[in-house]
Protein backbone atom coordinates (compact mmCIF):
# COMPACT_ATOMS: atom_id res chain seq x y z
CA UNK A 1 0.00 0.00 0.00
CA UNK A 2 1.35 3.43 -0.95
CA UNK A 3 1.79 6.22 1.59
CA UNK A 4 -0.97 8.20 -0.16
CA UNK A 5 -3.39 5.26 0.06
CA UNK A 6 -2.53 4.70 3.72
CA UNK A 7 -3.08 8.39 4.45
CA UNK A 8 -6.44 8.30 2.66
CA UNK A 9 -7.46 5.27 4.73
CA UNK A 10 -6.51 7.02 7.99
CA UNK A 11 -8.47 10.15 7.00
CA UNK A 12 -11.53 8.07 6.09
CA UNK A 13 -11.37 6.17 9.37
CA UNK A 14 -11.02 9.42 11.31
CA UNK A 15 -14.03 10.93 9.56
CA UNK A 16 -16.07 7.81 10.21
CA UNK A 17 -15.29 7.69 13.93
CA UNK A 18 -17.87 10.34 14.99
CA UNK A 19 -20.54 8.52 12.99
CA UNK A 20 -19.60 5.18 14.55
CA UNK A 21 -19.67 6.84 17.99
CA UNK A 22 -23.12 8.23 17.26
CA UNK A 23 -24.36 4.73 16.44
CA UNK A 24 -22.82 3.47 19.68
CA UNK A 25 -24.45 6.35 21.58
CA UNK A 26 -27.88 5.36 20.25
CA UNK A 27 -27.27 1.79 21.35
CA UNK A 28 -25.97 2.82 24.79
CA UNK A 29 -28.87 5.22 25.38
CA UNK A 30 -31.34 2.52 24.41
CA UNK A 31 -29.62 0.01 26.68
CA UNK A 32 -29.60 2.41 29.63
CA UNK A 33 -33.34 2.91 29.25
CA UNK A 34 -33.77 -0.85 29.70
CA UNK A 35 -33.71 -2.63 33.05
CA UNK A 36 -32.10 -5.98 32.26
CA UNK A 37 -28.44 -6.61 32.89
CA UNK A 38 -25.74 -6.33 30.25
CA UNK A 39 -22.90 -8.73 29.68
CA UNK A 40 -20.21 -7.13 31.79
CA UNK A 41 -18.77 -9.45 34.40
CA UNK A 42 -19.10 -8.48 38.07
CA UNK A 43 -15.67 -8.78 39.65
CA UNK A 44 -14.30 -8.19 43.13
CA UNK A 45 -10.49 -8.35 42.71
CA UNK A 46 -8.26 -8.30 45.78
CA UNK A 47 -6.91 -4.84 44.96
CA UNK A 48 -10.37 -3.24 45.02
CA UNK A 49 -12.41 -5.74 47.05
CA UNK A 50 -12.82 -3.41 50.02
CA UNK A 51 -13.70 -0.50 47.74
CA UNK A 52 -16.63 -1.96 45.79
CA UNK A 53 -17.58 -4.11 42.81
CA UNK A 54 -15.79 -3.93 39.49
CA UNK A 55 -17.42 -4.53 36.10
CA UNK A 56 -15.33 -5.05 33.00
CA UNK A 57 -14.51 -7.27 30.02
CA UNK A 58 -11.08 -8.81 29.75
CA UNK A 59 -8.22 -6.73 31.14
CA UNK A 60 -9.88 -4.25 33.50
CA UNK A 61 -6.76 -2.11 33.56
CA UNK A 62 -6.81 -1.60 29.79
CA UNK A 63 -10.12 0.29 29.65
CA UNK A 64 -11.09 3.84 30.69
CA UNK A 65 -12.42 3.89 34.25
CA UNK A 66 -15.87 5.02 35.40
CA UNK A 67 -16.80 5.33 39.08
CA UNK A 68 -20.56 4.81 39.48
CA UNK A 69 -21.63 6.25 42.85
CA UNK A 70 -25.07 5.25 44.22
CA UNK A 71 -27.38 7.78 45.84
CA UNK A 72 -28.95 7.40 49.27
CA UNK A 73 -30.42 3.92 48.98
CA UNK A 74 -30.37 0.97 51.37
CA UNK A 75 -29.49 -1.40 48.52
CA UNK A 76 -26.38 0.66 47.74
CA UNK A 77 -24.06 -0.90 45.17
CA UNK A 78 -26.25 -4.03 45.10
CA UNK A 79 -29.36 -2.33 43.68
CA UNK A 80 -30.48 -4.33 40.61
CA UNK A 81 -30.93 -1.20 38.48
CA UNK A 82 -27.44 0.01 39.38
CA UNK A 83 -25.95 -3.39 38.55
CA UNK A 84 -27.72 -3.25 35.17
CA UNK A 85 -26.30 0.22 34.42
CA UNK A 86 -22.79 -0.87 35.47
CA UNK A 87 -22.95 -3.86 33.14
CA UNK A 88 -24.26 -1.78 30.26
CA UNK A 89 -21.38 0.66 30.69
CA UNK A 90 -18.92 -2.24 30.83
CA UNK A 91 -20.41 -3.49 27.55
CA UNK A 92 -19.67 -0.01 26.13
CA UNK A 93 -15.96 -0.36 26.83
CA UNK A 94 -15.51 1.04 30.34
CA UNK A 95 -14.10 -0.47 33.50
CA UNK A 96 -16.78 0.42 36.05
CA UNK A 97 -16.26 0.51 39.80
CA UNK A 98 -19.37 0.79 42.00
CA UNK A 99 -18.04 1.77 45.44
CA UNK A 100 -19.42 0.77 48.80
CA UNK A 101 -20.44 4.03 50.54
CA UNK A 102 -21.72 2.96 53.95
CA UNK A 103 -23.34 6.29 54.86
CA UNK A 104 -25.43 6.44 51.67
CA UNK A 105 -26.55 2.84 52.24
CA UNK A 106 -27.75 4.01 55.68
CA UNK A 107 -29.65 6.87 53.95
CA UNK A 108 -27.18 9.38 55.37
CA UNK A 109 -25.48 12.10 53.34
CA UNK A 110 -22.16 13.05 54.92
CA UNK A 111 -19.33 15.35 53.90
CA UNK A 112 -16.95 12.51 54.82
CA UNK A 113 -18.29 10.62 51.79
CA UNK A 114 -16.17 12.92 49.62
CA UNK A 115 -13.05 11.27 51.02
CA UNK A 116 -14.45 7.79 50.38
CA UNK A 117 -15.25 8.74 46.78
CA UNK A 118 -11.83 10.31 46.36
CA UNK A 119 -10.06 7.16 47.54
CA UNK A 120 -12.22 4.98 45.27
CA UNK A 121 -11.38 7.31 42.36
CA UNK A 122 -7.67 7.02 43.15
CA UNK A 123 -7.87 3.21 43.31
CA UNK A 124 -9.68 3.04 39.97
CA UNK A 125 -7.31 5.58 38.41
CA UNK A 126 -4.32 3.52 39.44
CA UNK A 127 -5.91 0.38 38.00
CA UNK A 128 -6.79 1.99 34.65
CA UNK A 129 -3.61 4.09 34.59
CA UNK A 130 -5.18 7.44 33.92
CA UNK A 131 -7.91 9.96 34.79
CA UNK A 132 -11.38 8.57 35.36
CA UNK A 133 -14.99 9.64 34.99
CA UNK A 134 -17.56 9.66 37.79
CA UNK A 135 -21.29 9.09 37.47
CA UNK A 136 -22.92 10.35 40.67
CA UNK A 137 -26.59 9.91 41.51
CA UNK A 138 -28.78 12.27 43.57
CA UNK A 139 -27.26 13.19 46.93
CA UNK A 140 -23.96 11.58 45.91
CA UNK A 141 -23.44 14.47 43.46
CA UNK A 142 -22.30 16.88 46.18
CA UNK A 143 -19.68 14.55 47.72
CA UNK A 144 -18.48 13.56 44.22
CA UNK A 145 -17.87 17.20 43.25
CA UNK A 146 -16.23 17.87 46.61
CA UNK A 147 -14.01 14.81 46.00
CA UNK A 148 -12.93 16.31 42.69
CA UNK A 149 -11.82 19.43 44.58
CA UNK A 150 -9.77 17.52 47.15
CA UNK A 151 -6.79 15.17 47.31
CA UNK A 152 -6.67 12.39 46.08
CA UNK A 153 -9.77 12.79 43.90
CA UNK A 154 -8.59 16.02 42.28
CA UNK A 155 -5.69 14.22 40.60
CA UNK A 156 -7.88 11.45 39.15
CA UNK A 157 -11.38 12.78 38.32
CA UNK A 158 -11.63 14.31 34.85
CA UNK A 159 -15.36 14.01 34.16
CA UNK A 160 -18.50 14.00 36.34
CA UNK A 161 -21.91 12.97 35.05
CA UNK A 162 -24.32 14.20 37.74
CA UNK A 163 -27.86 12.80 37.74
CA UNK A 164 -30.49 14.64 39.81
CA UNK A 165 -27.94 16.53 41.88
CA UNK A 166 -28.07 19.64 44.05
CA UNK A 167 -26.29 22.98 44.53
CA UNK A 168 -27.84 24.92 47.45
CA UNK A 169 -28.76 22.87 50.55
CA UNK A 170 -31.06 25.64 51.78
CA UNK A 171 -33.03 25.56 48.53
CA UNK A 172 -33.24 21.76 48.63
CA UNK A 173 -34.56 21.76 52.20
CA UNK A 174 -37.07 24.48 51.32
CA UNK A 175 -38.34 22.30 48.48
CA UNK A 176 -38.44 19.13 50.58
CA UNK A 177 -40.41 20.74 53.39
CA UNK A 178 -42.64 23.30 51.64
CA UNK A 179 -42.65 22.32 47.96
CA UNK A 180 -41.41 25.79 46.95
CA UNK A 181 -38.66 26.18 44.38
CA UNK A 182 -37.72 27.82 41.14
CA UNK A 183 -38.64 25.80 38.08
CA UNK A 184 -36.14 24.98 35.33
CA UNK A 185 -36.88 28.34 33.68
CA UNK A 186 -36.39 30.36 36.89
CA UNK A 187 -40.07 30.92 37.77
CA UNK A 188 -41.33 30.46 41.34
CA UNK A 189 -43.17 27.17 41.69
CA UNK A 190 -44.98 25.55 44.63
CA UNK A 191 -46.10 21.92 44.69
CA UNK A 192 -47.03 19.36 47.31
CA UNK A 193 -43.73 18.35 48.95
CA UNK A 194 -42.53 14.79 48.59
CA UNK A 195 -42.84 13.24 52.07
CA UNK A 196 -40.29 10.48 51.52
CA UNK A 197 -37.42 12.87 50.80
CA UNK A 198 -38.29 15.00 53.82
CA UNK A 199 -38.18 12.10 56.25
CA UNK A 200 -35.04 10.66 54.71
CA UNK A 201 -33.48 14.00 55.63
CA UNK A 202 -34.65 13.49 59.22
CA UNK A 203 -33.24 9.97 59.33
CA UNK A 204 -30.01 11.16 57.76
CA UNK A 205 -29.41 13.70 60.52
CA UNK A 206 -30.86 11.89 63.53
CA UNK A 207 -27.59 10.30 64.58
CA UNK A 208 -25.86 13.69 64.79
CA UNK A 209 -27.98 14.70 67.80
CA UNK A 210 -26.22 14.76 71.17
CA UNK A 211 -28.76 12.81 73.24
CA UNK A 212 -29.14 9.06 72.45
CA UNK A 213 -32.83 9.15 73.35
CA UNK A 214 -33.47 11.99 70.92
CA UNK A 215 -31.55 10.16 68.19
CA UNK A 216 -33.76 7.09 68.70
CA UNK A 217 -37.00 9.07 68.79
CA UNK A 218 -36.23 11.17 65.69
CA UNK A 219 -35.20 8.04 63.76
CA UNK A 220 -38.44 6.33 64.78
CA UNK A 221 -40.46 9.38 63.64
CA UNK A 222 -38.68 9.36 60.28
CA UNK A 223 -39.20 5.64 59.72
CA UNK A 224 -42.87 5.87 60.70
CA UNK A 225 -43.53 8.79 58.36
CA UNK A 226 -41.48 7.25 55.52
CA UNK A 227 -43.83 4.28 55.67
CA UNK A 228 -46.97 6.45 55.74
CA UNK A 229 -46.94 10.23 55.49
CA UNK A 230 -49.93 10.66 57.83
CA UNK A 231 -48.78 8.31 60.60
CA UNK A 232 -49.31 9.86 64.08
CA UNK A 233 -46.05 10.91 65.75
CA UNK A 234 -47.23 12.86 68.80
CA UNK A 235 -46.12 10.09 71.18
CA UNK A 236 -42.57 10.18 69.84
CA UNK A 237 -42.43 13.97 69.40
CA UNK A 238 -43.26 14.38 73.10
CA UNK A 239 -39.98 12.64 74.01
CA UNK A 240 -37.79 14.98 71.96
CA UNK A 241 -35.57 17.54 73.63
CA UNK A 242 -34.52 20.93 72.19
CA UNK A 243 -32.31 19.50 69.43
CA UNK A 244 -34.88 17.04 68.12
CA UNK A 245 -37.66 19.61 68.37
CA UNK A 246 -35.60 22.04 66.27
CA UNK A 247 -35.22 19.45 63.51
CA UNK A 248 -38.90 18.49 63.69
CA UNK A 249 -39.99 22.14 63.56
CA UNK A 250 -38.15 22.53 60.25
CA UNK A 251 -39.68 19.37 58.81
CA UNK A 252 -43.31 20.14 59.65
CA UNK A 253 -43.07 23.78 58.55
CA UNK A 254 -44.91 24.66 55.31
CA UNK A 255 -43.96 28.36 55.03
CA UNK A 256 -40.98 28.98 52.68
CA UNK A 257 -40.16 32.32 54.29
CA UNK A 258 -39.68 30.60 57.68
CA UNK A 259 -37.06 28.12 56.44
CA UNK A 260 -33.92 30.29 56.88
CA UNK A 261 -34.73 30.99 60.54
CA UNK A 262 -35.58 27.35 61.24
CA UNK A 263 -32.36 26.21 59.61
CA UNK A 264 -30.40 28.70 61.71
CA UNK A 265 -31.99 27.18 64.82
CA UNK A 266 -30.88 23.63 63.96
CA UNK A 267 -28.41 21.92 66.29
CA UNK A 268 -24.81 22.79 65.44
CA UNK A 269 -24.07 19.14 64.66
CA UNK A 270 -26.69 19.21 61.89
CA UNK A 271 -25.61 22.65 60.67
CA UNK A 272 -21.97 21.57 60.36
CA UNK A 273 -22.90 18.71 58.02
CA UNK A 274 -25.23 20.85 55.93
CA UNK A 275 -22.63 23.57 55.50
CA UNK A 276 -19.94 21.02 54.59
CA UNK A 277 -22.16 19.49 51.89
CA UNK A 278 -23.34 22.81 50.45
CA UNK A 279 -21.93 23.35 46.95
CA UNK A 280 -23.08 26.97 46.97
CA UNK A 281 -20.12 27.84 49.20
CA UNK A 282 -17.65 25.40 47.59
CA UNK A 283 -14.78 26.77 45.45
CA UNK A 284 -16.33 25.58 42.19
CA UNK A 285 -14.13 27.95 40.20
CA UNK A 286 -11.27 25.54 41.01
CA UNK A 287 -13.11 22.52 39.62
CA UNK A 288 -11.06 21.04 36.77
CA UNK A 289 -13.42 18.18 35.95
CA UNK A 290 -15.93 18.55 33.13
CA UNK A 291 -19.54 18.45 34.38
CA UNK A 292 -22.45 16.85 32.53
CA UNK A 293 -25.58 17.73 34.51
CA UNK A 294 -28.70 15.61 33.98
CA UNK A 295 -32.01 16.51 35.64
CA UNK A 296 -35.75 15.93 35.23
CA UNK A 297 -37.82 19.08 34.83
CA UNK A 298 -40.42 17.79 37.32
CA UNK A 299 -38.06 16.05 39.74
CA UNK A 300 -40.08 15.36 42.93
CA UNK A 301 -37.04 15.07 45.25
CA UNK A 302 -34.53 17.72 44.11
CA UNK A 303 -35.82 20.52 41.82
CA UNK A 304 -34.29 20.98 38.38
CA UNK A 305 -33.37 24.53 39.36
CA UNK A 306 -30.54 23.02 41.43
CA UNK A 307 -28.75 21.67 38.36
CA UNK A 308 -29.51 24.94 36.54
CA UNK A 309 -27.81 26.86 39.36
CA UNK A 310 -24.91 24.40 39.48
CA UNK A 311 -24.36 24.76 35.74
CA UNK A 312 -24.22 28.55 36.14
CA UNK A 313 -21.71 28.33 39.01
CA UNK A 314 -19.34 25.64 37.76
CA UNK A 315 -16.92 26.01 34.84
CA UNK A 316 -16.91 23.47 32.02
CA UNK A 317 -20.48 22.39 32.73
CA UNK A 318 -23.26 21.31 30.36
CA UNK A 319 -26.93 21.00 31.34
CA UNK A 320 -29.37 18.39 30.01
CA UNK A 321 -33.02 18.63 31.12
CA UNK A 322 -35.46 15.76 30.63
CA UNK A 323 -39.26 15.80 30.54
CA UNK A 324 -39.89 12.30 31.91
CA UNK A 325 -37.01 11.70 34.31
CA UNK A 326 -38.48 11.10 37.77
CA UNK A 327 -35.45 11.97 39.86
CA UNK A 328 -33.22 9.10 38.69
CA UNK A 329 -35.71 6.84 36.87
CA UNK A 330 -36.73 7.36 33.26
CA UNK A 331 -40.38 6.95 32.37
CA UNK A 332 -41.10 5.60 28.87
CA UNK A 333 -42.64 7.50 26.01
CA UNK A 334 -40.63 10.71 25.51
CA UNK A 335 -38.86 10.86 22.15
CA UNK A 336 -37.14 14.10 23.09
CA UNK A 337 -35.70 12.49 26.22
CA UNK A 338 -34.29 9.61 24.18
CA UNK A 339 -32.53 12.07 21.89
CA UNK A 340 -31.15 14.05 24.84
CA UNK A 341 -29.91 10.86 26.51
CA UNK A 342 -28.21 9.94 23.22
CA UNK A 343 -26.34 13.28 23.35
CA UNK A 344 -25.19 12.56 26.91
CA UNK A 345 -24.12 9.04 25.90
CA UNK A 346 -22.22 10.46 22.93
CA UNK A 347 -20.20 12.80 25.17
CA UNK A 348 -19.44 9.90 27.52
CA UNK A 349 -18.20 7.77 24.61
CA UNK A 350 -16.25 10.71 23.22
CA UNK A 351 -14.41 10.95 26.54
CA UNK A 352 -13.83 7.17 26.44
CA UNK A 353 -12.24 7.42 23.01
CA UNK A 354 -9.96 10.27 24.11
CA UNK A 355 -8.84 8.17 27.06
CA UNK A 356 -8.09 5.26 24.74
CA UNK A 357 -5.98 7.62 22.63
CA UNK A 358 -3.94 8.87 25.62
Place 4 in a pLDDT band, splitting at 50, 70 and 90: very low
Considering the domain architecture, whether residues 199 and 106 belong to the same structural domain is answered as: no
Highest mean pLDDT among 9-13, 47-51, 301-305: 301-305
Considering the domain architecture, whether residues 266 and 322 belong to the same structural domain is answered as: no
Considering the domain architecture, whether residues 29 and 142 belong to the same structural domain is answered as: yes
Question: 292 - beta bridge partners?
Answer: 161, 318
Considering the domain architecture, whether residues 28 and 118 belong to the same structural domain is answered as: yes
* Per-position DSSP letters for 260-271, written without gaps between them: HHHHHTS-HHHH
Considering the domain architecture, whether residues 119 and 254 belong to the same structural domain is answered as: no
Considering the domain architecture, whether residues 27 and 116 belong to the same structural domain is answered as: yes
At 334 the pLDDT is: 72
Burial of residue 207 (CB within 10 Å: 0-12, 13-18, 19+) is: middle
* pLDDT tens column, 17-62: 677 787 788 777 777 776 555 555 555 544 455 578 889 888 888 8
At 105 the pLDDT is: 86
Query: How far is Cα 136 from Cα 130, in angstroms, rounded to an integer?
Result: 19
The length of the chain in residues reads 358
Considering the domain architecture, whether residues 123 and 232 belong to the same structural domain is answered as: no
* Final residue belonging to a domain, choices 258, 276, 294: 276
At 249 the pLDDT is: 96
Residue 197 belongs to what domain range? 173-179+192-276
At 2 the pLDDT is: 43
Which of 340, 279, 343, 337 shows the shortest CA–CA distance to 312? 279
Considering the domain architecture, whether residues 72 and 113 belong to the same structural domain is answered as: yes
Considering the domain architecture, whether residues 217 and 352 belong to the same structural domain is answered as: no
* Final residue belonging to a domain, choices 228, 256, 276: 276
At 196 the pLDDT is: 83
* pLDDT tens column, 204-251: 889 899 999 999 999 999 999 987 888 999 999 999 999 999 999 999
pTM score of the predicted model? 0.88
Tell me how many domains the chain contains. Answer: 2
Considering the domain architecture, whether residues 154 and 224 belong to the same structural domain is answered as: no
Considering the domain architecture, whether residues 268 and 295 belong to the same structural domain is answered as: no
CA angle centred on 293, ends 69 and 357, rounded to 5°: 75
Name the pairing type of β-strands 132-137 and 65-69: parallel
* Final residue belonging to a domain, choices 276, 304, 339: 276
Q: What is the mean pLDDT of the chain?
A: 86
Sign of the Cα torsion 207, 208, 213, 217 reads negative
Amino acid sequence: MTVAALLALVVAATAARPLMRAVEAIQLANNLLGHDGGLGERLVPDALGRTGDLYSHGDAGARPGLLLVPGADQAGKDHPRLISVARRLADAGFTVLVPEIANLRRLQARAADAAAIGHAAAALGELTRGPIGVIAISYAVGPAILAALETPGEAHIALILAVGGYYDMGAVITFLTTGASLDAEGRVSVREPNPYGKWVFALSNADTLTDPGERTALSAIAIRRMGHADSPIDDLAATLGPEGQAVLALLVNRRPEAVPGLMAALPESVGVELRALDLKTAPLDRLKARLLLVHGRDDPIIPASESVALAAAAPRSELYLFDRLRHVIFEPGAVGDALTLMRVAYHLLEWRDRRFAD
